[in-house]
């Protein structure tokens, strides 16, 4: 974030959730007014690709069986080195896929609820297998609706800013810096009447007459975006 503020010459920037040291991948960063909408990603699910090392021989069929056991709602206690209180909590693992098994190394792809610790999940898988395991590498390939294919490096951004400032061409920069509305791509949307905007912005509840239309089914308690 500090580097981006310097490259883009902005005073305010923020990210949607830290990456542990030595972990690479997707990190959505908002600038200026966009930081106010970052909460839309605070509960976003994450997708990881991880390398797990088992401390004993593992049968592939047994491993797949255990991975299926860890799919769904699981109990998880954050590891010792974590930024949150170490208390038992429930997290959802939407999918857990074995991509490759090479000796005692396994390449796993996991789609999980926000707040799920990949390294703790791998540790627990090793415990159930009876051989113990630890995470050797981790890459975050998706945060909510944002995927690795859309990501840019700091060098990409610096180059785009250079082209814009020196040649007046902002084509690449516009591909990198997206409108605030993009953050709500994966969220249910409600369009409200112009006459209701001021009242809603001042804290009034939204009543049915103020709704123009909505899309994507949503339930009570879901996060929605007003347009």
Regarding beta strands 29-31 and 13-15, do their DSSP bridges make them parallel or antiparallel, or are they unpaired?
Answer: antiparallel
Q: Which of 20, 156, 159, 170 is catalytic?
A: 20
Is 87 a residue whose pLDDT tops 80? no
How many Å apart are CA 87 and CA 112, to the nearest integer? 19
Q: Is-catalytic flag, 20?
A: yes
Supply the pTM of this predicted model.
0.84
The CATH code of the domain at 45-143 is 3.30.70.3190
How many Å apart are CA 93 and CA 110, to the nearest integer? 7
pLDDT band for position 221 (50/70/90)? Answer: confident
Regarding beta strands 13-15 and 105-112, do their DSSP bridges make them parallel or antiparallel, or are they unpaired?
Answer: unpaired
| pLDDT tens figures, 5-25 | 999 999 999 998 888 878 899
**CATH 3.30.70.3190-classified regions of the chain:** 45-143
Given this model, what pLDDT does residue 79 score? 67
Given this model, what pLDDT does residue 204 score? 92
């Amino acid at each position: 974030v500090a580097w981006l503020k310097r490259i883009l010459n902005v005073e305010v920037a923020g990210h949607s959730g830290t990456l542990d040291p030595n972990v690479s991948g997707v990190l959505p960063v908002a600038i200026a007014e966009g930081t106010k909408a970052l909460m839309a990603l605070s509960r976003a699910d994450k997708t990881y690709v991880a390398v797990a090392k088992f401390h004993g021989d593992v049968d592939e069929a047994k491993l797949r069986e255990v991975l299926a056991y860890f799919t769904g709602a699981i109990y998880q206690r954050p590891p010792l080195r974590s930024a949150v209180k170490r208390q038992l909590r429930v997290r959802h693992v939407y999918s857990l896929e074995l991509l490759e098994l090479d000796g005692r190394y396994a390449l796993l792809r996991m789609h999980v609820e926000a707040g799920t610790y990949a390294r703790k999940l791998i540790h627990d898988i090793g415990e159930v297998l009876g051989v113990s395991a630890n995470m050797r590498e981790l890459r975050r390939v998706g945060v909510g609706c944002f995927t690795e294919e859309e990501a840019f490096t700091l060098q990409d951004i610096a180059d785009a800013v250079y082209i814009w400032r020196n040649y007046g061409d902002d084509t690449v920069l516009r591909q990198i810096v997206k409108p605030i509305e993009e953050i709500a791509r994966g969220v249910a949307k409600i369009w409200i009447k112009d006459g209701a905007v001021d009242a809603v912005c001042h804290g009034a509840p939204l009543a049915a007459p103020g709704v123009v239309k909505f899309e994507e089914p949503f339930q009570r308690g879901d996060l929605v975006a007003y347009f």
